[in-house]
Amino acid sequence: MSTPTHCIRPLGPLKQALRQCRAERRSYATTQELYPSLQTRYPPPTPGFRPSQAMKQNRFEEGMKKIPVAQPPRSTLKACPDPIAAVTASQLTTLDPTGARARLFAHSNPDRVQPGDILLVRLKNSTPFSGICLNIRQRHSPIDTAILLRNQLTRIGVEMWFKVYSPNVESIEVVQRKEKRARRAKLYYLRQPKHDVGSVEGVVRQYQRQRMGGPVGGGKNAKGRDANAGRKKNNQRGRN
Amino acid sequence: MVNVIDNSGAAVAECVKVLKMKRHARIGDRIIVVVQKQRNFGPESGGAVSVSAANKVRRGDIRHAVVVRTTKKWQRPDGSVVKFDDNACVLINKGGEPIGSRMNSVVGKELRDKKWSKILSLAPMHL
């Protein structure tokens, strides 16, 4: 019998369940009065109560926690205020113990090397190189001082940079000074064919003869002899 | 364009390839060149016939060569820097022997490190 009723009213049992639930709820309001054990022990909170605020107010303040850390290392600034200068000085004492090289390029020295001078650089393991000084480069510290020499070898222009304090440089000699002080610090214009002075080998050779104490020019015979001597020297250099 | 400084007969050549490298050549590097200009050996040799007889290479030839001078500055291990006014090379054959028998100007010393001592011994001066 029930089956046909369901077919006619499919939501019949559901309606009945809802009705029952509503009746139970109505009776629940009365249960608290009926059973005092189910009532809350504390009065309900006041309307403005905020639990988070209350927790903050009741917390015991004890400040930041101290974390044990290692002591910072001693400042190296106090130990050595200018390490670069110290290193430079120590290097200079080893590379230039007499201070002659430094004096050759010191600004305080009126006879210092200046651009335009003809210099002869003797090297430890190579042939000496001579040329016109085009540029003296002093970077941040005197130890970096370098010179740019230009010369013509077999009619080919050659330029070389030499570090002044290099252990490979045996000596730097001033062969000839520029008569008039150059009005530029860098004589790069000497690379132009218009201004090129060509080879300075002749000047250097004469200077070397003078230093050796040989004859300096003179009569026709002497000239011829000198020319031969020069050629011999040149050959030697070529063979090296 | 590089100058040719030996007596092979070439005066100016053009580099078309740097061997064993994908960048520029420096002193001692082997390159392939095309001869662009022939050298004339003085007026006394005279005539096109004698010029071609004296020259071992002709214009348009493709040859191997070794760079002996560069205008690019090159810093050596000792801190010195060398720079020449021109780029120059010496022609060699496939086996590495120089084609010319003499050279007429200064060459770089780096040739020694690159095992070109034969060229170095032919040069009148090296730096």
B86, pLDDT greater than 50: yes
Give the count of domains, chain B. Answer: 1
Q: Taking residues B60-72, what's their average pLDDT?
A: 95
Q: Is residue B95 part of a domain?
A: yes
Residues in chain A within 8 Å Cβ distance of B80: 160-163, 166, 168
Domains in chain A, CATH or no CATH each: 84-199 (2.30.30.790), 204-240 (no CATH)
Split at pLDDT 50, 70, 90, the class of B53 is: low
**Any A CB within 8 A of B77 CB:** no
E strand spans, chain A: 118-123, 129-137, 146-153, 156-163, 169-176
Q: Give B78 or A139, the one with higher predicted confidence.
A: B78
Question: Could you tell me which residues come within 8 angstroms of residue A125 by beta carbon, excluding any fewer than 6 positions away?
Answer: A168
Check which CATH number belongs to the domain holding B67 and give it: 2.40.150.20
Q: Is residue B127 part of a domain?
A: no
Q: How far is A78 from chain B (nearest CA, A)?
A: 34
Q: What is the pLDDT of residues B6-32, one digit of tens each?
A: 999 999 999 999 999 999 999 999 999
Please give the Cα distance from B84 to B5 (Å, whole number). Answer: 14
B58, pLDDT greater than 80: yes
Please give the Cα distance from A189 to A169 (Å, whole number). Answer: 27
B80, B82, B105: residue with CB nearest A155: B105
Amino acid A124: pLDDT: 92
Residues in chain B within 8 Å Cβ distance of A154: 104-106, 124-125
Low-confidence ranges of chain A (pLDDT < 50): 1, 218-240
B52, pLDDT greater than 90: no
* Mean of per-residue pLDDT scores for chain B: 89
Q: What is the pLDDT of residues A122-133, one digit of tens each?
A: 999 899 999 999
Amino acid A237: pLDDT: 44
Amino acid B50: pLDDT: 56
Q: Is residue B23 part of a domain?
A: yes
| CB-based burial label for B94 (10 Å; 0-12, 13-18, 19+) | exposed
Q: How far is B105 from chain A (nearest CA, A)?
A: 5
Q: Structural domain of residue B112, as residue ranges?
A: 2-122
Amino acid A50: pLDDT: 83
CB pairs under 8 A between A and B: 58
